[in-house]
Structure 1
Amino acid sequence: MRIKSQYLFVIVVMGAVVLYFVVRSLFSLGAPHTAQAKTAVQAGSPSVQAELVPQVVRPYDVVIRGRTQATRTVVVRSETAGVVAETPVLQGGFVRQGQVLCRLAVDARQAALDQARAALRSMQLAQQQNEQLAKQGFRAPTQVLQGQANLDAASAGVRQAEIALAQVNIKAPFAGVFDHRDAEVGSYLSPGQSCGTVIEIDPLLVVGDVPETQAASIRVGAPATARLVSGETLSGRIRYVSHDADPQTRTYHLEMTLPNPRADVRSGLSAEMHVGAGSGPAHLVPVSSLVLDSAGRQGVRYVLADGRVGFSPVTVLEETKDGVWVTGLSGQVELITVGQSYVADGQKVRVALAR
């Protein structure tokens, strides 16, 4: 019996399909082992991205939060008692050294001075007469010496009266700003009471506290800059670093001096100080590459020559828009930039250079 051609075609197609599935099932017996082996390889050697970071020589800056401060602040006090008769300087105005800030009423001080001067003239005449009579033998040497003592006492009385009169003028001890007035016209001042406060803001100080870990790297005379809250950056030098730490904060007080000839920078402004502390090797790394190890140290992970992961603790020198400058690495390093948080020290990795 002959088989029709259309049936023969169907039988051939069905046979081919059956053969395909039989062959596929035979080859798929080893597939799970292959997949497991591949997964094991991937688990043992994870893939990370890395980039080569060169070592450069860079100036080191110690960054400190601080504030501007007047170089000198003095409360100007009265040396004598009296009623305030005049306040010629407005509060907040600039003053010269020796300029009168408060003037007390003269009262009887001028009369006391006139009396002392008259007594001095009388003693001068008496002493002249004693000297002439002594030459003629009518005065003993002791009488001449007594007359000279009286003359000296009268001269001292004049000086005392002059000082008392001058003390009615309460003057600025140095050039600066009459920042605050405490006495008004009609106020009575006793000796030691305040007329007002004078501050010196040229030069101006920027003060702060440096941690004990960085204090040794700062020297008197080191260049420094201060960035104010207004965005203005001023340059100066370190004039003082304390040698005794604050017992509470374990920090050392630091003072930077900078010129302020126009007095346009006020005292009490917040500032960020950058103090030069020499130069040395540094690396510029992305902020995202910083990680913590099991001991809580901040550092970076990199790829060693044998393809394993290494870790090095670093110290951040400065943060910039391009990354952070750090110390603690040596030479050019292959820094892990992607996957650094998912690998362990000494682990073998497959490296793909960062794009």
Structure 2
Amino acid sequence: MAPLWAIVLAAWVLGGCGRESTAETDTGQGPQVRVVSVAVETLKSTNLSETFTLPATLEAWEDLLLAAEIAGPVRYVGPREGDRVRKGDVILRIDPEAREADLDRARAEFEVQQSHFARMSRLVDEQIISPQEFEEARRNIEVARAALRSAEVALAKSVLVSPLDGIIDRLHVDRGEFVSEGTPVAELVQVDRLQAVVEVPEKDVHFLQVGDRVEVVAARLVGEGGPVRSGELFYLAFKADPTTRTYRAKVVVDNADGSLRPGMILRVRFLRQAFPEAVAVPLYALVERDGKTLAYVEEQGVARRRFLTTGSIIGDRVVIQDGLVAGERLIVRGQQLLEDGTAVTTGNH
């Protein structure tokens, strides 16, 4: 940032230096009095905030690549690319007929072994069979139970359902195509809310806290940005990127209207500092002399000098930490011609 004296000089030039007038007033009772024509602004306290804006890239809240959990031919594909799905909706079925047949066989075998085990339990109580024969029957029913459970799981895996509410962004298979276990079959994105990813510079990261409210504006190629949305900072990295020396932050953005899409560029406005009941003055009203920043106020037709302690620059105004108070009449034009005690004539600014 440029030093304050350079900013003040530029603001003074742009604000119209050199247009002020002075006059010598003859009172008829002694030396003539030099009077400078100035403009004044009555100072008021107001709530100010200093913000900074960073570019961000939108990402889906969840971006899932769904894969086949079993091998087989795809018998059914429900939604198409671009369709919305609800959690639990069927996306596709992989050879469900064969899995149902396997389940029927496993269920029948389990029922046989269950009946056999019940009969062997009675016989072992009557000491008609040996304990070894009873243990074999018990092992057989456990094997049949495991096979039944495995068949149930396989049938469940043959039906791919959506794990969340979202949009089918891409399908990788068609009906009739054979897939192997682990083959990617569909891409599902959740877009009713999105996350804006921001790289925060080191100088600004200490102003941020998880949970901060921020403003999000969609960038446009032509004209101003879109409507302002509210977002919330939900992640802030503790470690800087070793290459960029920035800290990754993520902001949750509501997208219930569906107008935003992953990959879009946004601008995110963060609050750097708040200044409640602050006094801020135009930059061009300040004067730099002998390395000190000062301003003049008008008191009963006389210019009075104030040495200032300045703070943040917000737009074309600077926050005054010490030296001026609300209610004083700040001289905003003609101040370069003044000394402490100079007589002035004022006009409203």
TM-score (norm 2): 0.70
In structure 1, the partner of 2:170 is 180
- Structure 1 window deviating more from structure 2 (101-110 vs 177-186): it is 101-110
Cα distance between partner residues in 2 of 1:242 and 1:176: 27
In structure 2, the partner of 1:240 is 235
- Cα deviations by residue, 1:106-160 (Å, 9 ceiling, x for unpaired): 3633322222122111111110111110121113334323322211110110111
- Cα deviations by residue, 1:4-37 (Å, 9 ceiling, x for unpaired): xxxxxxxxxxxxxxxxxxxxxxxxxxxxxxxxxx
Cα distance between partner residues in 2 of 1:248 and 1:291: 42
- SS of structure 2 residue aligned to 1:213: helix
- SS of structure 2 residue aligned to 1:110: helix
For the pair 1:219 / 2:214, whether they are aligned, the reply is: no
- SS of structure 2 residue aligned to 1:163: helix
C-alpha contact 1:243 1:252 (8 A) present in aligned 2: yes
In structure 2, the partner of 1:120 is 110
Mark the CA change 1:193 to 1:86 in structure 2 (over 3 Å): closer, same or farther: same
1:241-280 counterparts in 2 under 5 A?
Answer: 241-277=236-272, 279-280=274-275
Pairwise CA distance, 1:206: 2.2
Q: Is the strand fraction higher in 1 or 2?
A: 2
Structure 1 residues without counterparts, runs of 5 or longer: 1-46, 293-299
Q: How many residues are treated as equivalent by the alignment?
A: 297
C-alpha contact 2:306 2:324 (8 A) present in aligned 1: no
Pairwise CA distance, 1:165: 2.1
Task: Return the match for 2:51 from 61, 69, 86.
Answer: 61
For the pair 1:196 / 2:186, whether they are aligned, the reply is: yes
In structure 1, the partner of 2:9 is none
For the pair 1:82 / 2:72, whether they are aligned, the reply is: yes
Cα distance between partner residues in 1 of 2:194 and 2:183: 28
C-alpha contact 1:170 1:195 (8 A) present in aligned 2: no
Structure 2 residues without counterparts, runs of 5 or longer: 1-36, 220-224, 298-302
TM-score (norm 1): 0.69
C-alpha contact 2:308 2:321 (8 A) present in aligned 1: no
C-alpha contact 2:296 2:331 (8 A) present in aligned 1: no
- SS of structure 2 residue aligned to 1:150: helix
Cα distance between partner residues in 1 of 2:51 and 2:88: 42
In structure 2, the partner of 1:10 is none
Pairwise CA distance, 1:74: 0.7
In our comparison, the structure showing a higher alpha carbon Rg is 1
- Structure 1 window deviating more from structure 2 (103-112 vs 64-73): it is 103-112
Query: Which amino acid letter does the alignment assign opposite residue 295 of structure 2?
Result: V
Query: Which amino acid letter does the alignment assign opposite residue 249 of structure 1?
Result: T
- Cα deviations by residue, 1:144-186 (Å, 9 ceiling, x for unpaired): 2332221111011011112222222222121111112222223
- SS of structure 1 residue aligned to 2:96: coil
Identical positions, percent: 26
C-alpha contact 1:50 1:351 (8 A) present in aligned 2: no
- SS of structure 1 residue aligned to 2:170: strand
Task: Return the match for 1:108 from 98, 105, 108.
Answer: 98
Pairwise CA distance, 1:285: 5.3
In structure 1, the partner of 2:295 is 303
Mark the CA change 1:129 to 1:216 in structure 2 (over 3 Å): closer, same or farther: same
